[in-house]
Chains A and B, each alone.
Chain A
Amino acid sequence: ETGVTQTPRHLVMGMTNKKSLKCEQHLGHNAMYWYKQSAKKPLELMFVYNFKEQTENNSVPSRFSPECPNSSHLFLHLHTLQPEDSALYLCASSQPGTPKNTIYFGEGSWLTVV
C-alpha cells in the first residue's frame, strides 16, 4: 500500500477508443504527476499539477489529456492513441515546498494500444 492508487491496473484499447486512467492519493499531498515508463527509456515526466493547477506539460501530445479536479485525484484521458503509446503509466504525488521533494508512486496502469 503506497498511498497512491491507480485504476485500472491493465487496459487494452484500440486506436479509436477513448479511455481514462484514474489516480487517487491518500497522503495529503498537493502535487501530482503523470509519468510514462517504457522499456527503452528512463521514466518520462508527462504532467505536473500543483494545488490542482497544471504547472508542467512536458511536450506531451494532445491525445493525452490530464484532469485534476482536486488535490487528491488525477485523471489521464486517452484518445486516438498509437501503438507506441503502449507503456506503464505511473501516477505520483509529493508535497511541494518541503526541503525534500520525495515523490511517491502508484503501482501503475499497464496500457496496451492495439
Chain B
Amino acid sequence: GESVGLHLPTLSVQEGDNSIINCAYSNSASDYFIWYKQESGKGPQFIIDIRSNMDKRQGQRVTVLLNKTVKHLSLQIAATQPGDSAVYFCAETSMEYGNKLVFGAGTILRVKS
C-alpha cells in the first residue's frame, strides 16, 4: 500500500525486542502530548497520551516518558511485534498553539522477524 514519510528516520528492531522511539518537542509551554501510529495506507491512530504534570504513563505494551527539562518525549514498545511496523508521530499542544496539535515529522519503525 501507499506510505508517506519516505525520508523519515528509521528504527529497525528484531521481533520480541523492546523499541524506543524518541521525539524532541519545540514548545516548553506545551502541556499535552500524544503519540500516533500510522500504518501503511491508513490514517494516524491514537496510541497513548500524557499531560505535562506527569513524567510517565503506561498502556498496554506501551509506555510514554516525558522529560520537560530537555523537551523530550519517548515511546517505548515492549516485545515489539510485526504489527507494530508503522510510522510513529508525536504531537504537542498548548494554549500558545490555541490548543491545536503540532505534529513532529515521524519515525518509521521496522520490525524484523
Contacts and interface: CB of A to CB of B under 8 A. Distances in A.
Interface of A: 2, 4, 6, 37-40, 42-43, 45, 48, 56, 88, 90, 92, 96, 100-108, 110
Contacts of A39: 4-7
Given A38-B4, A100-B49, A100-B51, A105 B105 contact: no
Given A37-B4, A39-B7, A102-B49, A45 B100 contact: yes
B42 A107 contact: yes
B7 A43 contact: no
Interface in B17-36: 32, 34, 36
B13 interface: no
Contacts of B101: 101, 103
* 5 nearest A-B pairs in the assembled complex, by CB-CB distance: A105-B43, A43-B103, A107-B43, A42-B105, A39-B6
Contacts of B34: 102
B58 to A, nearest CB: 17
A39 B106 CA distance: 11
A2 to B, nearest CB: 7
Contacts of B6: 39
B93 interface: yes
A90 to B, nearest CB: 5
B57 to A, nearest CB: 12
B32 A108 contact: no
A101 B42 contact: no
A5 to B, nearest CB: 11
Contacts of B100: 45, 48, 56, 101
B4 A105 contact: no
Interface string B1-20: 01011110000000000000
Nearest to B100: A45
A90 B104 contact: no
Nearest to A48: B100
Given A2-B43, A96-B99, 6 more contacts: A39-B5, A42-B89, A43-B103, A56-B100, A100-B32, A101-B32
Contacts of B44: 43, 90, 105
